[in-house]
Amino acid sequence: MIELHRVTKTYNGVKALDDVSFTVHPGSVTGFLGPNGAGKSTAMRILAGLARPTSGRATVLGKPYAELARPGYDVGTLLDAGAQHPGRTGREVLTLGALMLGLPKSRVDEVLDLVGLTGKEAGRPIRGYSLGMRQRLGIGHALLGRPRALILDEPANGLDPQGIQWMRELLRGLAASGCAVLLSSHLLYEVEQVADRIVMIGAGRVLADGTLAELSQGRTLEQTFLALTSQTFRTPA
């Protein structure tokens, strides 16, 4: 389970998050939506242990990230697909991750196959990867330890239609196996296809939290999103 409970985060007197609470249950995909500057990335960074809340509590599997005994096996994260060293090959990135987790090298080949990177592609330096290939590699790195929770920020960014379909099937399969998935994306139609629940935030506050049926009331997700966020949009600080 992934949970934020009354989380507030303040930067230089400005509230990036303001009393935010929501829960992602095992076996489900929750779409995390909001305009630029709404606080999505801040919330995900707090969940991943990269920032501390000013107040409130953020937990994965019942504990703050820093208190997880084996975080690589508990939670997989993709917050920035471009964060890997450009001079390393895709295989080297996954091999280093596997070594850190104490996993056999065979897991690297399993993950490469899972995310659709060929042996030739895996042997190339990341500087030559397309954005879509970087995303596949980042998703693979997040899945190395077979985590029970996933926190993914814009994982479909740069994927072609075939790649988006692959990601949709992957996430639904992971949820079916019991994984709790938190998914941030600007591709509202794709979120509509894969998510069980939607959390929308604007200006650092939760605007809506519920199933698609509960939130839509006969509207598309895009129409619902625009209606809820039009009055709360603010320029990123």
pLDDT in tens, 52-74: 999 999 999 999 999 999 999 99
pLDDT of residue 230: 76
pLDDT of residue 232: 56
| C-alpha atoms less than 13 angstroms from C-alpha of 64 in its C-beta half-sphere | 14
Mean pLDDT (the chain) is: 91
pLDDT of residue 213: 85
pLDDT bucket at 231, cuts 50 / 70 / 90: low
Provide the 3-class DSSP secondary structure of residue 48: coil
CA atoms of 93 and 86, how far apart (whole Å): 10
Helical ranges in 152-220 per DSSP H: 161-176, 188-194, 212-216
Q: pLDDT tens for residues 171-229?
A: 999 999 999 999 998 888 888 899 999 999 999 999 999 998 888 777 888 888 888 87
Provide the 3-class DSSP secondary structure of residue 206: strand
Domain regions of the chain by residue span? 2-83+147-229
% the chain with pLDDT above 70: 97
pLDDT of residue 234: 45
Q: At a CB cut-off of 8 Å and minimum separation 6, what does 84 contact? A: 93, 126, 134, 137, 138, 141
pLDDT of residue 190: 85
pLDDT at 84 > cutoff 60: yes
pLDDT of residue 223: 83
For residues 177 and 164, the answer to whether their CB atoms sit within 8 Å is no
Q: What is the DSSP letter of 93?
A: H
CA-nearest of 199, 201, 200, 204 to 14 is 204
How many CB atoms are closer than 10 A to CB 109?
14
Provide the 3-class DSSP secondary structure of residue 58: strand
pLDDT of residue 61: 96
CA atoms of 117 and 87, how far apart (whole Å): 17
Lookup: tokens for 189: 């139609």
Lookup: tokens for 54: 């000013």
- CATH code for 2-83+147-229? 3.40.50.300
